[in-house]
Amino acid sequence: NIKAFILETTMEHIEKDKVLVIDNQIKEWSETIAWFMSGKKHEAETSKGKHIFKENLYGQINVLYIKSIHSLVFRYFGQLNLYLEGHKIVPERAYFLGTGAIIKGPNIESIYYSDIVNKFMETQVTTKIVFTGEDVEFRFRKSENGIHKFSFKEHSGHLVGIMGGSGVGKTILLNILNGKLFPNNGKIKINGYDLYKFKNKLKGLIGFVPQDDLLIEELTIFPVIFFASEPEPRNRLFSLILQYEVFVPD
């Protein structure tokens, strides 16, 4: 696949599920029509290869997914001045598309790494996670300050950023979304399960990394892991230490 992708100008000899084409050709039903056609959109894409539509992108970008190293390689065939992380893309040259990379060009929407990799992940993920908030509202005690009512819906595989100045409520919002704080009104749900009513069912689906370092500085690595771990992984830790004779300082 790699040799054919780099040396040939077509992708006839490459497995269809490993390649993706980005261009300005409409090759699939819109979301509305696809709903009426009952899955025809998915069938069309899997039979002809993966595709992303980008208005005003003249020529096409071919992308190869290398599963063994979980990497993306692409080539651009066209005359537009496209840029990868600020560097001009030479037509037909092969480029690695690194995690978080962005392809930009005149009069076209930016092409994000996450949009491309999600296309390849769609066929591998059997159960998608839908994270929703319904009329969520939070107020500080004896105050009207807090988070005004809002709703949202996001699917697994998407990267979402929360932006705002200091003190506007970003940390409060994250603590509501991870279940640490209860909102005054509204519901947070994962695949339809209320985050606050079904904590045991949803355990393990949310990971949270705070901005503050919560390590106890006086402790070495072993007691830190011992303190934070649950019984089963703690026992595995002991086994590994004994098996490999790892030195653990006091």
**Per-residue pLDDT tens digits for 151-199:** 999 988 777 888 888 888 888 999 999 888 899 999 999 999 999 888 8
Instruction: With cut-offs at 50, 70 and 90, classify the pLDDT of residue 49.
Output: confident
Answer whether 99's CB lies under 8 Å from 55's CB: no
Could you tell me if 57 and 134 lie in one domain?
no
Domain-embedded: residue 207: no
- 72 shares its domain with 116: yes
User: Is residue 208 in a domain?
Assistant: no
Q: State phi, psi for 16 to the nearest 5 degrees.
A: -60, -35
- The range of the structural domain enclosing residue 91 comes to 2-121
Band the pLDDT of 213: cuts 50, 70, 90. low
Residue pair 206/179 in contact (Cβ under 8 Å)? The answer is yes
Q: What percent of the chain has pLDDT over 90?
A: 30
Q: 27 falls in which pLDDT band (50, 70, 90)?
A: low
Q: Do 149 and 187 belong together in one domain?
A: yes
Using one digit for the tens of pLDDT, what is the confidence trace for 145-162? 888 899 999 988 777 888
Map tokens 């004994």 to a residue: 242
68 pLDDT band (50/70/90 cuts)?
confident
C-alpha separations of 92 from 7, 59, 109 in Å: 10, 11, 21
Residues making up the chain, counted from first to last: 250
- Going across the sheet that includes 50-53, the strands are 50-53, 19-23, 60-66, 71-77, 95-97
What is the reported pLDDT for 142? 81
Beta-bridged to residue 150, according to DSSP, are 136
Q: Is the pLDDT of residue 30 over 80?
A: no
User: Is 10 found in the same domain as 110?
Assistant: yes
6 and 117 share one domain: yes
Q: What per-residue confidence (pLDDT) applies to 12? A: 73
pLDDT at 42: 42
When divided into structural domains, the chain yields a total of: 3
Question: Whole-model pTM?
Answer: 0.52
